[in-house]
Amino acid sequence: MFTLLIRNKITYTILLLLLMRGFEVPAQSNSNLSSARTFSKFDDNSELKEKIYEFKYSDPNLAISMCLNSLEEYIPLGPSRFTLFLYSTLGELYLKKDLPVLALSYLEDAMYEYELIRRDGIAFRNSKPPLQPWLTLNIGNIFFKQGEYDKALERYKLSMINFTKIDSLLPKIRGLSTTFNNIALVHIELRNYNLAIENITKAYNLRLNNNFNPIDIAHSFKSFSELYFKWDMEDKGNLYLAKTDSVNMLIQKQKSFSKYKDFDDLTFKLSDNYVGNCYEYRGEYLFNQKKYRQALKAYNSASSYYGEFAFQKVSLMNKKANVYYMLSDFENCLKVIEECILLSKEQNLQKEEVVALELKFKVLNKLGLSSEIEITVDEILKNKDYRYSVQIDQLLSGLESKNEILIKKREIEDEKSQKSRIISMSIITILILIFATAYFLSRKVYLDKQMIIANQNEKIALTDLEHKKRELASISTNIVQENEQISNILKDLKYYTSLLNVDKEKTIFNPLIKSINRILNEKRKDDLYSDQFNAAYPGYLEYLTRTFSDLTTADLKLCTFLRMNLNTKEMADIMGLSVRSVESRRYRLRKKLELSKDEDLVSKLISLNY
C-alpha cells in the first residue's frame, strides 16, 4: 500500500516541488515537542553553537558541561546573544533529563538575559518582542511534560502572540508553525482531536505557503500521522506515514546536491527520525488493537530509522519486548530486555532500565524461575535507588553550577557597582577638595587678617599693661613719698608741740594732729592702689587666693608690695607699721607659702606662673 501511495502522481509532484524550492536549516527537535535553533552560520560563536546543538541529542551531559564552561567564560563580558543561547539550551537539556525545576530556572534566566539585551540595545537579526517567544514556548514544554496542560496552553498562546510581533517573515512563520504543533499535542493528550487537527493544519499551511524546507513539511506529516493513529484512524495514519517516508527518501537521495551543502548530518538524521516516529505511532496503535505481530513489524521498521538516537531506541526496545511478552515469546522477550538493559546502562537511562527490569520480572515469574526473580527484584530496587540518587546528584550539581553562575554574575555586578561608586566618590571628592580649597583660602585670608588684628590688639594690650605697671610703680612711689612727707610733718608737729610749756597751748594743736592722722589712715585704706595693681597684674591675687587659701587680706596686700619690689621701710610707711612689724609679717608669709630657707620671697612672688 505504501508503494502505491508513494507512486501517487499528485503527492509525488507536490513533494518534488517542495524539494526544488528554497529552504533554510530545519527547526525541529527529535521529540514530539518542537523547538528551534535560533542561530545561523553568521552568528557569533556559530561553530560552538553547532557542537552544543549536536551534543544536545547525542550526549546531553557533554552539552551541559560545554554550556556551563562557556557561561563561566562569557558572563564577565556582559549580556549577549550567545549567553542567551546558553541559558536557553541548559533549560532544554535539563528538561530532557527530567529536572523541571532546573530547566525552568535556566529558562527564566534566559528571559532575564533577553531583557538585559533589549535594554542594552544589542542587535538581533529580527525585531525584539517584549518576551522571547522561543523561551516562552520551552517553558510551556516544561508544563506539558509535567501534565499541566492548562499552563502549557497559556504559555504556547503567549509565545504565539510574541511570534506575530517579529518583523522577519521566515522566523515568524517557523515560530508560529512550531507553536501550533505544540498546541496540537496538548489537545491530543486531552483527546480534543478536532482541535488538534485544526492546529496541525494551521502549521502545515504556514509552512507550505511560505516556501519552507521539506524537512519541516515532513514534521507536519509526522504530526498528522501521530494524531490519526491516536484517533484510531488507521488509514489516514498510514497515509501520512507514507508521505513522511516519501519526503525522507527524496531528501536522502539528493543530500549530495549543492542545495543541501549547508545542511549538517543531524538534519538528515532528523529526517530519518520522523519516519521512525511514524512507524512507532503505528506500532502503538496496532498494539492497542492487540495486533501484536503487526505491531512488532512496525516497531522493527521504526528501529531501522532511529540510528544514533539512543533515547528512542531504548524506549522502542521496551515496547518490542512488551509485544513478545504479549505473544508469550519469552525467549525473544528476554533477549530484547537484556539488550535494552545493556544499552540503558551505556546511555545512563535509568528510567528505561527500570521498565525493562520490571518486564523481566513478569517474564521470569511466568517461567517460574524463582532464583532469577530474586536477583531481578534486587536489581530493580538497586536501580530505583541508583536512579533517585543520580537524579539528586544531577539536581545538586545543577544547583551548584547555577549558584556559581549567580555568584559570578553578582561579583560582576558588584564590581560594576564598585567602579560606579568609585567614580561617583572621586567626583564628589574632587568637588569637596575644590570647595575645601576655596574655603581654606578664604579662611586663611580671614585668619591672617584676624592674626594681624590680634597682634595689634596684643601689642596694644601689652603697651597698656606696661603703662599700667608704670602707673602702679608711680603710684607706689607717690604713696610712699606722700606718706613719708605727711609722717615727717606729723612727727615735726608732735615734736614742736612737745616743746610748749603750757598745756593749753598744746591742746590747740590736737585737732590738727588728729586731722593729719585721719588723712594718713585714709590714704592707707585707699583702694586706688589695689585697683591699679589688679589692672597691671590681672589674675595675680586670684591665683594666690586659689593656691594658698589661708592668706589673709593683709597678706595679699603685702604680696602686692613685694611683687612691686618695695623694700621693708617703704612697705612700713605705706602700711603705717613699724619696720619690725613688716618683717614679722614677711616671716609669717614665708611660712604660709611654704618656702625653704634658700628660697627668696620676692623672687618667688615675682616668678609665679599664673
Q: Among 199-208, 508-517, 546-555, which is the least confidently predicted range? A: 508-517
pLDDT for 33 equals: 54
Give the model's pLDDT for residue 418. 74
Label residue 227 by pLDDT band (50, 70, 90). very high
Whether 571 contacts 561, CB under 8 Å: yes
Q: What is the pLDDT averaged over residues 281-289? A: 95
Between CA 150 and CA 470 the distance in angstroms is 111
Residue 153: pLDDT above 90?
yes
pLDDT of residue 154: 94
Q: Is 189 helix (H, G, I), strand (E, B) or coil?
A: helix
Three state DSSP letters for 526-579: CCHHHHHHHHHCCCHHHHHHHHCCCCCHHHHHHHHHHHCCCCHHHHHHHHCCCH
Of 584 and 455, more confident: 584
Lowest mean pLDDT among 1-5, 171-175, 301-305: 1-5
Indicate the residue type of 345.
Answer: K
Lowest mean pLDDT among 20-24, 49-53, 147-151, 230-234: 20-24
Digit-coded pLDDT (tens) for 492-501: 777 777 777 6
State the pLDDT at residue 38.
42
Residue ranges covered by each domain of the chain = 481-606
The model carries a pTM of 0.57
560-578: average pLDDT = 83
pLDDT at position 388 is 54
Please compute the mean of the pLDDT values over residues 562-571 and round it to a whole number: 85
Cα(379)–Cα(375) distance, integer angstroms: 6
Other beta carbons within 10 Å of 250: 19
Given a contact cutoff of 8 angstroms between Cβ atoms, the answer to whether 229 and 207 are in contact is no
Report the range of poorest mean pLDDT among 202-206, 317-321, 546-550. 546-550
Query: Amino acid identity, residue 361?
Result: F
Distance CA 180, CA 175 (A): 9
3-state secondary structure 497-513: HHCCCCHHHHHHCHHHH
pLDDT at 536: 77
Give Cα 580 distance to the centre of its chain: 95
The confidence score (pLDDT) of residue 364 equals 84
362 vs 356: CA distance, rounded Å: 10
Residues 250 and 15: beta-carbon distance below 8 Å: yes
Q: In the predicted model, what is the mean pLDDT of residues 479-496?
A: 70
Q: Which range is least confidently modeled, 172-181, 184-193, 244-253, 362-371?
A: 362-371
The C-alpha atoms of residue 55 and residue 46 are separated, in whole angstroms, by: 14
pLDDT above 90 (res 346): no
Helix 568-575 to helix 579-592 angle, to the nearest 10 degrees?
Answer: 100
pLDDT score, position 190: 93
Ramachandran area for residue 488 (φ above 0: left; ψ -120 to 50: alpha; else beta): alpha
Position 349 pLDDT exceeds 90: no
Looking at residue 42, what is its pLDDT? 42
- φ/ψ (deg, to 5) at 600: -90, 130
Task: Give residue-wise pLDDT tens across range 384-421.
Answer: 555 555 555 555 555 556 556 666 666 666 666 777 77
Question: Chain-wide mean pLDDT for the chain?
Answer: 78
Predicted pLDDT of residue 299? 94
Rounded CA gap, 405 and 69, in Å? 10
pLDDT of residue 297: 95
3-class secondary structure, 55:
helix
Q: What is the pLDDT of residues 75-114, one digit of tens each?
A: 888 888 888 888 888 888 888 777 788 888 888 888 888 8
Alpha-carbon distance of 598 to 322, in angstroms, equals 129
232-263 tens-digit pLDDT: 999 999 999 999 999 888 888 877 766 666 66
**Between the CA atoms of 524, 528, 531 and 534, what dihedral angle is there, to the nearest 10 degrees?**
-60
Q: What pLDDT is stored for residue 247 in this prediction?
A: 87
Q: Mark out the alpha helices in 190-309 (DSSP H runs).
A: 193-209, 214-230, 234-253, 265-288, 292-306
Task: Take residue 446 and report the three cell numbers written for it.
Answer: 580671614
Q: Contact 11/5 with Cβ under 8 angstroms?
A: yes
* pLDDT value for 417: 72
Highest-scoring range by mean pLDDT, 20-24, 535-539, 549-553: 549-553
221: exposed, middle or buried (Cβ count in 10 Å: 0-12, 13-18, 19+): buried
Q: Which residue has the higher pLDDT, 29 or 281?
A: 281
Q: Could you give the percent of the chain with pLDDT greater than 90?
A: 22
Q: Check residue 486 and report its DSSP letter.
A: H
* C-alpha span between 149 and 539 (Å, rounded): 99
- Give backbone dihedrals phi and psi of 181, rounded to 5 degrees, phi first: -60, -45
